[in-house]
Amino acid sequence: MAHTTCAVRRDDMENRIAALRKERRISQAELAEAVAVTRQTIISLESGRYNASLLLAHKIANYFDTTIEDIFLFEEEES
């Protein structure tokens, strides 16, 4: 299976990937394989260096059988 990095640099979103992964005792490598990215991508997402693309966010939400909004915590900017 080919691995891609589907992440974009942003600073306005947090996520619960590490917490969900640890609750279910899933390694970074297992999650990476399941959503077809590299382990480095999972590390970058968990550390907040990158935010997932919509496609990757959807894959992660499906993997954890939850919604994108339950994993990715968006902070709206005030106008």
Q: pLDDT for 8-65, tens place per residue?
A: 444 567 899 999 999 999 999 999 999 999 999 999 999 999 889 999 999 999 999 9
Give the pLDDT of residue 8.
42
Cross-strand pairs, 15: 72
pLDDT given at position 9: 41
Angle (deg, nearest 10), helices 28-35 and 39-47: 110
Residue 18: partners with Cβ closer than 8 Å, 6 or more residues away: 46
- Per-residue pLDDT, 13: 76
Q: What is the pLDDT of residue 76?
A: 65
pLDDT at 5 over 50: no
By CB neighbour count within 10 A (0-12 exposed, 13-18 middle, 19+ buried), where does 10 fall?
exposed
